[in-house]
Amino acid sequence: MRIVYDVLRDEILSLDLPPGSAIDEAGLAERFGMSRTPIREALVRLAGEGLIETLPNRSTIVSPLDFLNMRPYFDALVLMYRVTTKLAAQRHRAADLEVIHAWQAEFAAAVQAQDALAMIATNAAFHLAVAEAGRNPYFTALFKRLLDEGRRILRLYYQSYDDQLPQRFVDEHDAIIAAVAARNGAEADQLARVHGEQVVDQVQMLLAGGMRLDLAL
Sites of contact with a copy of itself (CB under 8 A): 37, 40-41, 44-45, 48-49, 72-73, 75-76, 79, 83, 87, 135-139, 142, 145-146
CA angle 128, 217, 206 (to 5 degrees): 70
Return the number of the residue (34 or 79) whose C-beta is nearest DNA: 34
Residues 3-22 close enough to bind DNA by CB under 7 A:
22
Give the one residue of 48, 58, 93, 212 binding DNA; rule: CB under 7 A: 58
Task: Report what 23 binds from DNA, a copy of itself, none; CB cut-off 5-8 Å by kind.
Answer: DNA
Three-state DSSP class for residue 74: helix
Give the one residue of 9, 13, 60, 130 binding DNA; rule: CB under 7 A: 60
Return the number of the residue (27 or 137) whose C-beta is nearest a copy of itself: 137
Q: What is the DSSP letter of 35?
A: -
Q: Give every CB contact of residue 71 below 8 A, 6+ residues apart in sequence.
A: none
Q: Find the length of the chain.
A: 217
Q: Give the CA dihedral 45, 46, 48, 50, nearest 10 degrees.
A: 180
Residue type, 168: R
Residues that bind DNA (CB under 7 A): 1, 22-26, 34-38, 40-41, 54, 56-60
